[in-house]
Structure 1
Amino acid sequence: MSLINTFRFLSILFTAVAMSAGFAHLFELPHKIGLSREDYLIVQQIYRGWALLGIAVIGALVSTLALSFLVREESVAFYLTLTAALCIAFSLIVFFTFTYPANQQTMNWTRLPENWLELRRQWEYSHAAGAGFYFLAFVALTISLLLKK
């Protein structure tokens, strides 16, 4: 397997793992957004250990940036791969701007402050936005592979 194909594989694999976690959040949103304070706090405990998904996110970003460099001579593949890398980077910006602060204010959802409803919306919708960015990254990577000569 060539170096480019290795990084194509890693980019798609890591992006798919990150996207699947994002989609889990997206699909649970309509069912969780209206839960009571007590029920929401209980349900949020299912995410313990999900910080390990950061490995997939960083893997997706690094492998996709490396792939962008490796395909820089292939115009279409380069722009699609760079688009994927930017989408992954935007997902991280959303996470650290909205999701992480909500996690901090709630001590990773072990306590609910007075503004918990606002934090819940911020947390849920930022994860939905992240899922959208991962989906766009996955689509861009897949198209770049399908257009490969």
Structure 2
Amino acid sequence: MKILRFLTIMLTALSLSAAFAHLLEMPAKLQYDDALWLHLLQTLYPTFGKVSGVCEIGAVIASALLVVAIRKRPKALPWTLLAALCLAVTHAIFWIWVAPVNAALLPLSPDTLPPDWTRLRDQWEFAHASRAILQIIALAACRTLSGIGDNHSQAN
């Protein structure tokens, strides 16, 4: 149980690192022109997905396994469910709002951006911001869970 909880916390923290970076960058990036914003999308962020994306999938799986493992512990279950749900919603947000923008804009150049590129940019930026907030909540829930302990007498 301790190893699974540790793994969930670490994977959540690692996936949060990229989401939090997006959140911190957002105010400046909303001021960038189309060429600079697109350049960042095409050159800076591919590594984020390759590393953080794997951690995010791992966090979703680990938190789901933790829900199953801790299901009979009434004090720990709500925190575990909260973390797992936040992580699952975070992942869904990526596929619903971020991935379509990536697919639409990554192959383009500044000259071929659609006239409504700022709508797509805002969708991408605010989706990442919401993901960061959900991952912060998930990490806090995981951390709270770790304070509950593995001893059944403490968890009941």
> TM-score normalized by structure 1?
0.92
Match of 1:138 in 2: 139
Q: Secondary structure at 2:65's aligned position in 1? A: helix
Count of residues in Structure 1 that have an aligned counterpart in Structure 2: 146
**Partner Cα separation in structure 2 for residue 108 and residue 124 of structure 1:** 18
Q: 1:48: how far off?
A: 2.1
Letter in structure 1 aligned against 2:67: S
Q: Which residue of 2 aligns with 1:70?
A: 69
Mapped partners of 1:100, 1:128: distance in 2: 15
Q: Which moved more, 1:70-79 or 1:40-49?
A: 40-49
Partner letter of residue 58 of structure 2?
G
Matches within 5 A, 1:44-63: 44=41, 45-52=43-50, 53-63=52-62
Other structure's SS at 1:76 match: coil
CA contact (8 A) 1:103 1:109 kept: no
Q: Structure 1 pair 88/29, CA: closer, same or farther in 2 (3 Å)?
A: same
Could you say if the C-alpha distance between residues 68 and 110 of structure 1 is closer, same or farther in structure 2, counting changes exceeding 3 Å?
farther
Aligned partners of 1:109, 1:119: CA distance in 2, in Å?
13
Aligned-pair RMSD on alpha carbons? Answer: 1.4
- Contact 2:38 / 2:105 at 8 angstroms: preserved in 1? no
Q: Distance in 2 between matches of 1:123 and 1:145?
A: 33
1:12 aligns with 2:9: yes
Please state how far the C-alpha of 1:109 moved relative to its aligned partner. Answer: 6.4
In structure 2, C-alpha distance between the alignment counterparts of 1:19 and 1:64, rounded to whole Å: 14
1:19-77 C-alpha deviation (Å, 9 max, x unpaired): 11110000000010010111212222211222212210110011111111111111121
Distance 1:130 1:109 in 2: 25
TM-score (normalised: structure 2) = 0.88
Residue identity (%)? 32
2:70 and 2:76 in contact (8 A); partners too? yes
d(CA) in 2 for partners of 1:109 and 1:70? 46
- Answering whether residue 50 of structure 2 is matched by residue 34 of structure 1, we say no
Match of 2:121 in 1: 120
**Bigger Rg over Cα:** 2
Matches of 2:78 and 2:53, distance apart in 1: 25
Q: How many Å separate the matches in 1 of 2:14 and 2:38?
A: 26
Once structures 1 and 2 are overlaid, which stretch shifts more, 10-19 or 49-58?
Answer: 49-58
Q: 2:106 aligns to what?
A: 107
Q: How far apart are residue 96 of structure 1 and its match? A: 1.1
| Runs of 4+ residues deviating >4 angstroms | 108-111
What one-letter code is carried by the residue in structure 1 that aligns with 2:27? P
